[in-house]
Structures are given as structure tokens and as C-alpha cells.
Amino acid sequence: MGKRSREALAEATETPLDLSHLRRETRTALELAVVALAPLDVIDHLAGAAGLFEALMELPPDSPPVIALSRKLSERARSALKDWNAWQERHLSKAKA
């Protein structure tokens, strides 16, 4: 099974607990990105995902909006975290040099 297939399978089988962890990780990354003065596009990407997580958490887990948006939100959050981690790694490597 290829990496892409494993990622798709993982996203398709995410539990509410998985989404809760992803929400927390996204919110923490947003806070760190703000403090680190990351580029606005990185902050915006994280903020969009974190904000949508907060809005969906107010709804029942089996409500139509949560069902409809959870998969895309998971993808959006993972993409934002990937961007953040890449920027952070570049930023830290410059600081060490």
C-alpha cells in the first residue's frame, strides 16, 4: 500500500478522538506560529483550520455540518501543519547557522 493510500485510509477512519488531537495540535501550532512571527500565509492557514475546528466542536458529532466538513477539515489542518513544520524547520536551521 502506497503512502497516499495509507493517508487516505487514515483520514477515512479518523475517530472523534483523532479529530480532537488534530484540533489541539492545530491550535498549539497556531499559537507558536504567532509567537514566532511566522509568515502571515502560514498563520492564516492554521487559523482557518483552528477556527473551523472550534465552530464544529459546538455541534453534535453526528450533525450534517460536522459529517460534511470533517474530512476536508482534517485535510486542511494536516496541510497547514505541514506548512508550519516546514517553515519552523527552515527557521530553526537558519538560527543554528
The pLDDT assigned to 1 comes to 44
Q: How far is CA 22 from the centre of its chain?
A: 6
Of residues 27 and 19, more confidently modeled: 27
Which percentage of the chain shows pLDDT scores above 90? 69
Q: Are 42 and 83 in contact (CB under 8 A)?
A: yes
Q: Where are the beta strands (DSSP E) in the chain?
A: none
pTM of the model: 0.81
Q: How far is CA 62 from the centre of its chain?
A: 21
